[in-house]
Structure 1
Amino acid sequence: MPFFAYKARNARGELLQGVLEGPDSGVIADQLFSTGITPVEIVPTKKPAGGNADSWWGRLFEPKVRPIDVQLFSRQMYTLLKAGVPIMRGLAGLQESAISKSFARVVKDLRESLDAGRELSTAMRRHPKVFSSFYVSMVRVGEMTGRLEEVFLRLFDYMEFDRDMRQRVKSALRYPSFVVAALVVAMVIINIFVIPAFAKVYAGFKTELPFMTKLLIGTSNFTVQYWPVMLSIVIGAGVVFKLYTDTPHGKYQWDRFKLRMPIAGKIMLKGTLARFARSFALSSKSGVPIVQGLNVVAQTVDNSYIATRIEQMRDGVERGESILRTAVTTGVFTPVVTQMIAIGEETGELDSLMDEIAAMYEREVDYELKTLSAQIEPILIIGLGILVLILALGVFLPMWDLGRAALHG
């Protein structure tokens, strides 16, 4: 259908402008009148809904919509809808008060889509990079059940939990990452600048060098001589790895490997399962059928290996199997969790018990994150000790041998 640019005035006489999609200008006028807006001018345009006059250059460098923007939007929508504010008026207020221009543009498109007769969930689906499929599905359920404000509140709580989980993981990994990066930089500096200087000194000894010293000098010479090749190999390996993990099979294998990594793997597994339990509880409380809920939840766990296991649960439920049996066959849930699922199925309190499962996993993740540094520090200390030992032996053994030879002489 064609697009029409309009100018109109609201009940307060304020001038409004926008773009709507419709078969003709008469239908656009009817849409405006139905929302309490009086059209002043309606003209055809090629600009699609949600477009604006900003240059493509400005959009290129415009900040992206952040998850916190969507989270605050969810809380604001809950407050507005609970207070009885019409959704169109609420979106207009959110558009004007939005700090992020990018998100203000999205809210504007939501308003124009609603003006065009679309549902809110359909309008959100036009922005997949802003609103996830899980978010859109939950909004759709809220529209169907008339509990939209409740869904927005639950989405806000879910996004708050997810953001807190990610922040704690980043915080826990910050110190180990810094230490590892410092070690890598130190190794590069030592190989390129320090060892070559010692090699010139040792060359004047006119004596056989210890094996460790030869090893260090050989490694340093190789690094100095072939560093462009080594750098190209590292960059090429990174590109190949990125391309491989972008494929469905590569992403599946990488996500599976991450869960088996020492120390970090169990934290990621528990965090992913906590996100699954929380989102499943949310969809169940919102009235989503179990099969549809599992299908939607599989898209929220951010791990294709776990998502595949959840899809297996969905297929099993479709065949008439119990959730307990399908959960056991996945092989990713602990016996305690499967027992709680069994009780939830028997009592009809699966959604509340899923919340309990999520809380249990959250507590375990919290404990693991608090002790993560303590678990990693011994490994870092051992690695640093081995590095210092190799350097000390390689650098000081020739001096020791030379000093001993001088004493014997």
Structure 2
Amino acid sequence: MPVYEYQALDAKGKTITGIIDADGAQTARQKIRTMGSFPVTVKEVTEGKSSKESRSTSFQGLFSRVTPAQVSLWTRQLATLTGAGFPLVTALTTLVSQTKIQGFTKMVARIKDSIVEGNSFASSLTLYPSVFSQIYINMVRAGETSGTLEIVLQRLADIMEKQQELKSRIQTAMAYPILMTVIGTLVLFFLMTFVVPNITGIFTEMNQVLPTPTRFLIAASDAFKSYWWLLVILAAAALVALKMFRKTERGLAATDRLMLSLPIMGPLLQKIAVARFSRTLASLLENGVTMLPALEIVKNITGNVVISALIESASNEVEKGQGLGLSLAADAVFPDLAVQMVQVGEQSGELESMLYKIADVYENEVQSSIMSMMAMLEPVMILVMAVVVLFIVLSICLPIFEMNQLVG
């Protein structure tokens, strides 16, 4: 079904814009009138556009990308409408008219058209694999099969909101240290390239033997002033090389294993992966997905190939008849507490609820760890900057003290 962009006047004479699907332009105008608005322009959104229009759309696409937060909000709204008794197509039609983001509006309209044509909701979501993950699609498919789509949508919204909340807290906690690092780097760059050379130039003209710290500062300042561009190039090359290395299977495994072995960051990444694994697996099992397909899905969401390999190995053991807890205990990657709680859940027949508890426990630990790290990081950064500045000041003052002694 074609999709039309329109500009109309509402009951108060205010200009409104939007997108609507209809069999033709005349039908689209009638739909707009039934909404209580007077259509001014109605233009079909076609795939074939002029090169200029395509470039404009591509440029706008940079700023209209569908974000996980928008998908989470849309899922919550859809769950509310379907839970209130709205048929799925009606609920999607309502959301098409309410969604303000152009790219997202077109996407929802296409999904609704696909459902009207006879496809399932899950199959329609596969039209946008970059927006809807495999977990999202599989849970929707399970909800459609079991007739509990509104419950599945509510749980999906809960999962996405918790992930967004955790991500937001991490970003908020990291904002101040990153800002301090940037400011400190700029201050150090200014000192080493402008302030220090002007001051130390006086010492070099006196042809006197300078203290070791001063000589080191002058050499470092000269090198930094002459070759700072080389440092930037080397840093950029290192980042590109690391990115290329991580694109290889061996490189990705090596770097992920290294990240898990880091003193502070390793346990934090481990807890994040375990919490994500537990909550997603619990939701899949609770919505009718059997254990083996659920493990196949969740192994790709941990964000670490080492942990993904462990889950895949555990899946093979479960397929042979072994319990999930024992399978996860085969490697020390999963914490003992998580393994024990999984075993208790299997023995009591309440694995889903126990997995939810594991997710809650480790999400809380992640938040506490991040807050503790940030509380420690701030004074450490201030101390490092103070030591650097103190070294610069002492390196400049030592020759002055020696000259005063000679004069005295």
Identify the residue that residue 24 of structure 1 maps to in structure 2.
none
Deviations 1:310-349 (A, max 9, x none): 2222122122221111110132222222221111111110
Identify the residue that residue 105 of structure 2 maps to in structure 1.
104
Deviations 1:239-270 (A, max 9, x none): 22222223343333333333333333322221
1:294–1:314 contact (8 Å) kept in structure 2: yes
Identify the residue that residue 57 of structure 1 maps to in structure 2.
55
Number of residue-to-residue matches in the alignment = 370
Identify the residue that residue 83 of structure 2 maps to in structure 1.
82
Tell whether 2:206 aligns with 1:201. no
Aligned-partner Cα distance in 2 for 1:78–1:287: 18
Aligned AA for 1:332?
A: V
Alpha-carbon spacing, 1:332–1:324, altered in 2? closer, same or farther (3 Å): same
Identify the residue that residue 403 of structure 1 maps to in structure 2.
404
Aligned AA for 1:146?
A: G
**1:143 deviation in Å?**
1.2
Aligned AA for 1:390?
A: F
2:200–2:396 contact (8 Å) kept in structure 1: no
Q: Which runs of 5+ in 2 are unaligned?
A: 5-19, 25-45
2:193–2:225 contact (8 Å) kept in structure 1: yes
SS at match of 1:126: coil
Aligned-partner Cα distance in 2 for 1:158–1:52: 39
Identify the residue that residue 243 of structure 1 maps to in structure 2.
244
Alpha-carbon spacing, 1:362–1:18, altered in 2? closer, same or farther (3 Å): farther
Identify the residue that residue 263 of structure 1 maps to in structure 2.
264
1:312–1:330 contact (8 Å) kept in structure 2: no
Identify the residue that residue 34 of structure 1 maps to in structure 2.
none
Aligned AA for 2:146?
A: T
Identify the residue that residue 220 of structure 1 maps to in structure 2.
221
Identify the residue that residue 132 of structure 2 maps to in structure 1.
131
**1:98 deviation in Å?**
0.4
**1:18 deviation in Å?**
5.9
Q: Summarize the alignment of residues 168-183 of structure 1 with structure 2, pairs less than 5 Å apart.
A: 168-183=169-184
Residue identity over aligned pairs, in percent, reads 29
Aligned-partner Cα distance in 1 for 2:105–2:123: 18
Query: Which moves more between the two structures, 109-118 or 207-216?
Result: 109-118
1:172–1:369 contact (8 Å) kept in structure 2: yes
Aligned-partner Cα distance in 1 for 2:248–2:123: 28
1:313–1:330 contact (8 Å) kept in structure 2: no
1:82–1:149 contact (8 Å) kept in structure 2: yes
2:79–2:150 contact (8 Å) kept in structure 1: yes
1:278–1:354 contact (8 Å) kept in structure 2: yes
Deviations 1:213-257 (A, max 9, x none): 111111111122222322222222222222222334333333333
Identify the residue that residue 149 of structure 1 maps to in structure 2.
150
Identify the residue that residue 300 of structure 2 maps to in structure 1.
299
Aligned-partner Cα distance in 2 for 1:136–1:94: 19
**1:107 deviation in Å?**
0.3
Aligned-partner Cα distance in 2 for 1:377–1:85: 51
Q: Summarize the alignment of residues 181-196 of structure 1 with structure 2, pairs less than 5 Å apart.
A: 181-196=182-197
Aligned-partner Cα distance in 2 for 1:137–1:59: 31
1:110–1:124 contact (8 Å) kept in structure 2: yes
Identify the residue that residue 9 of structure 2 maps to in structure 1.
none
Alpha-carbon spacing, 1:249–1:108, altered in 2? closer, same or farther (3 Å): farther
Query: Which moves more between the two structures, 391-400 or 299-308?
Result: 299-308
**1:306 deviation in Å?**
2.1
Query: Which moves more between the two structures, 344-353 or 228-237?
Result: 228-237
Deviations 1:293-319 (A, max 9, x none): 111112222333322222222122122
1:165–1:271 contact (8 Å) kept in structure 2: no
Deviations 1:150-171 (A, max 9, x none): 1000000000110111111111
Aligned-partner Cα distance in 2 for 1:309–1:100: 40
**1:401 deviation in Å?**
1.2
Deviations 1:18-68 (A, max 9, x none): 69xxxxxxxxxxxxxxxxxxxxxxxxxxx67xx899932233122100111
Aligned AA for 2:22?
A: Q
Identify the residue that residue 123 of structure 2 maps to in structure 1.
122
**1:212 deviation in Å?**
1.1
Aligned AA for 1:351?
A: E
Query: Which moves more between the two structures, 280-289 or 298-307?
Result: 298-307
Identify the residue that residue 12 of structure 1 maps to in structure 2.
none
**1:199 deviation in Å?**
2.1
Aligned AA for 2:343?
A: A
Aligned AA for 1:235?
A: A
**1:354 deviation in Å?**
0.4
2:2–2:21 contact (8 Å) kept in structure 1: no
Query: Which moves more between the two structures, 323-332 or 239-248?
Result: 239-248
Aligned AA for 1:254?
A: T
RMSD, aligned α-carbons = 2.5
Alpha-carbon spacing, 1:52–1:329, altered in 2? closer, same or farther (3 Å): farther
Identify the residue that residue 348 of structure 2 maps to in structure 1.
347
Alpha-carbon spacing, 1:129–1:16, altered in 2? closer, same or farther (3 Å): closer
Alpha-carbon spacing, 1:128–1:52, altered in 2? closer, same or farther (3 Å): farther
Aligned AA for 2:98?
A: S
Aligned-partner Cα distance in 2 for 1:133–1:167: 23
Aligned-partner Cα distance in 1 for 2:401–2:3: 88
Tell whether 2:15 aligns with 1:17. no
Aligned AA for 2:367?
A: D
2:270–2:334 contact (8 Å) kept in structure 1: no
**1:16 deviation in Å?**
4.7
Aligned AA for 1:94?
A: L
Aligned-partner Cα distance in 1 for 2:229–2:3: 59
Aligned-partner Cα distance in 1 for 2:235–2:99: 43
**1:5 deviation in Å?**
5.5
**1:281 deviation in Å?**
0.8
